Structure 1
Amino acid sequence: MTSHTAWSSGPRTTTPPRRATIRVTVHATDPLVATGINTMLQPTPGIDLVTDPHHADITIAVADTGLPDLTTHHNTRLILIADDIRQADLWTAIEHGLIVLVPRTEATSRSRLLRAITDAREGRGDLPPEHLGTMLQGLKQLQQNTLRPRDLTLTGLSTRETEVIRLLADGLDTSEIAEKLIYSERTVKNVLHSLLNRLNLRNRAHAVAYALRQGLI
C-alpha cells in the first residue's frame, strides 16, 4: 500500500492541451528552492520549463510558510508541495486546479516529481491519506451546511433538476416526466427553464449533452 490515494480529477478540471511537450512552471518564494526544482527537471525530455504561468500547462507550487499566491496561475493543473496544509488552504488550492499534493520530504526525489507531473497531465488526482480525509470531511460539511438546505447537490444541480434531466436523457417528454415524478407539467417546464438560464444552455438537447459531458447524470 502506498502513502497516497489517487482519484479521478473529475469533469470540471480544465484539461491541458495534449502535446508532445508539457509546459511546466515552478512557483516558490525561495529562489534557491525554485532553482533546485528546475535543475532536477531541466534535462527531462518532454518537459519544457517556462517562467510565465499563463503559458504553462502545469504549475509546481511550493508552500514555504503558507499557501502561495496562485491567483495569477490560470488554466493550469496544480502540483502543490506542502506539509500540514489547513483545510481552508486545501480548498483554495483545489479551486486553483490542485491535482497532486506532494509532501516536502518526497519533493527532493526527481522520480517523485516526474510521477506527479505525469499524474497531473493525465488528470489522476493524488493526495496523502490524511489530506484526502480532510477533503472528504469538508465535502460532508459543505453538503450538510450549504447544499442540502438549498436543495443542491455536489453536481451543481438541485435534486429536482437531476431527476428531470435524467428522465429527459431517457427520451421522456414533458408530460411523461411530470407523470413519472408526480409533478405538474408547468413545474417540469419551470425546472428546465431555470436550468437552461443558469447554465446558459440553448435547449433541452443542449442540457442533456452538457449533463452527460460533465458527468452530472
Structure 2
Amino acid sequence: MSMSCVAIHSMDPITQYGLECSLEKSPQLMLTTMEDADVVVVALDKVDAAALHVLESLEVREGARFVVLVDRGWYADPASVVASGVRAVLWREDTNVQALVRAVITVANGQAWLPPSVQGRLLDQVQQVQQEILSPRGLTTSGLTAREIDVLRMVSEGLDLAEIAQKMSYSERTIKKIIAAVISRLQLRNRVHAVTYAIRAGLI
C-alpha cells in the first residue's frame, strides 16, 4: 500500500497537535514537512482574502494541494480558492477523524472533496465565465476552441496533417495554423507539448 505524505499548518498549537494525532494513525498517510508533502492540511477560522494570503505564503513543494478545515464562514471567490491549490474543504463542526483522513487520501489521489454548497457556487461561476467571457470568443475554460480540441485529438490518435485536413474539410495549411495558434497562445514548445496539455486538461 502506497503512502501519501501530508503536512499540517495551524496557528493554534492545540489544533495542530490534534490534527497530527488524528492523521498519524492512518497507515496510508505519513506526516512530513510542508516542503515534502503531497497534501497540506490547513486549519482556518474562515475562508476569505486573508486566508488565501496565508495559503499563498506557505512554502510548499510545486504540485502540493491543500485540504482546508474551516471553523465558519465563506467569504471568498470559489474559483480563487481552487486556483490557490485547495482541493478539499471541510467544515470543522461536521467533520470527524475518518472524514478528514478520507479527504486527505482523496486529494492525494488527484481528486477533490468539496461541500455541495461550494460545488454549486463554483459551477455557477464556471457557467457565468463560459457564457459571458469565453463563448463569445469561441473558447472553453481550457483556453482551447472546440475546433482546436478536435485537431489535437486527431493528432493524438496518430493522424497526419493531410488526414486531419480531409476529415475536417480544411486545407493542410489551415490545420498547421490551428496548431501553431495553440502553441503560441498557450506558450507551448511544440505539437507534442500541445497534445500533452490537452490530455492533462482532460480534453482528449
TM-score (norm 1): 0.75
Residue in 2 aligned with 1:166?
153
Where in structure 1 are there 5+ consecutive unaligned residues?
1-18
Matched positions, count: 195
CA distance in 2, matches of 1:152, 1:65: 34
2:74 to 85, 94, 106: 85
Structure 1 segment 1-217 matched on structure 2, within 5 A: 20-50=2-32, 52-67=33-48, 68=51, 69-71=54-56, 72=58, 73-74=60-61, 75-82=63-70, 83-88=72-77, 90-107=78-95, 109-197=96-184, 198-203=186-191, 205-217=192-204
Give the CA deviation at 1:44: 3.8
CA contact (8 A) 2:188 2:194 kept: no
Change (3 A) 1:92 1:177: same
Match of 2:89, as an amino acid?
L
CA contact (8 A) 1:28 1:64 kept: no
Where in structure 2 are there 5+ consecutive unaligned residues?
none
Change (3 A) 1:170 1:37: closer
RMSD of Structure 2 on Structure 1 (CA): 2.6
CA contact (8 A) 1:87 1:138 kept: no
**1:78-111 deviation per Cα after TM superposition (whole angstroms, max 9, x unaligned):** 11112442351x322211322221111133x222
Match of 1:38, as an amino acid?
E
CA contact (8 A) 2:47 2:76 kept: no
TM-score (norm 2): 0.80
Give the CA deviation at 1:179: 4.1
Aligned-residue sequence identity (percent) comes to 31
Give the CA deviation at 1:196: 2.8
